[in-house]
Amino acid sequence: MEDHTQQEQVSLEVHKRIQDSFDRQGLMSHLGARIAHIGPGRVHIVLPSRPEVTQQHGYFHAGATSAIADSAGGYAAHTLFPEGTEVLTVEYKINLLAPAVGDRIEAVGTVLKPGRTLTVCQLEVFGVQNGQRKLVANGQQTLIRVTVER
């Protein structure tokens, strides 16, 4: 597994903003997902294996795999946006490359092209078993930045 301590970190303010937003997501809480790393334009989300997130063959369900990939990309984009803005997914495509097995899966969202309005992210999901990572899904996502009034 990658050593997250060697990766660039965001400011404490951005970290708090991303984590607070993530904590408000009912689906991520329901799935049992957590953020493992927040860097500028890059976010990792981990989902531990448990029966509630698997399909009939015991693999991680494609819906759970896709959901954490979508959130990882969205938060990766959000790290580059100013206070008072949010992101919404416009579209995403994911390719399931192999059955998602392991003691957990980890989604990595990475900004490919930031923009004032639209941002494009790469999505990768790895199955992790005994510290070994295997790419099980990859995709691409487009997000829109929206201004929020509080």
The domain that holds 87 is classified in CATH as 3.10.129.10
127: in domain: yes
pLDDT reading at 106 higher than 70: yes
Residue 2 lies in a domain: no
Q: Tell me the two tokens of residue 5.
A: 């301590």
- Tens-digit pLDDT profile for residues 6-34: 578 899 999 999 999 999 999 999 999 99
Question: Which residues form the domain of 98?
Answer: 7-147
What is the number of domains present in the chain? 1
Classify residue 32: in a domain, yes or no: yes
Q: Is the pLDDT of residue 5 over 80?
A: no
Give the pTM.
0.93
Alpha-carbon gap, residue 9 to 32, rounded angstroms: 24
| 44 has a pLDDT exceeding 70 | yes
Task: Give 140's strand partners.
Answer: 93, 122
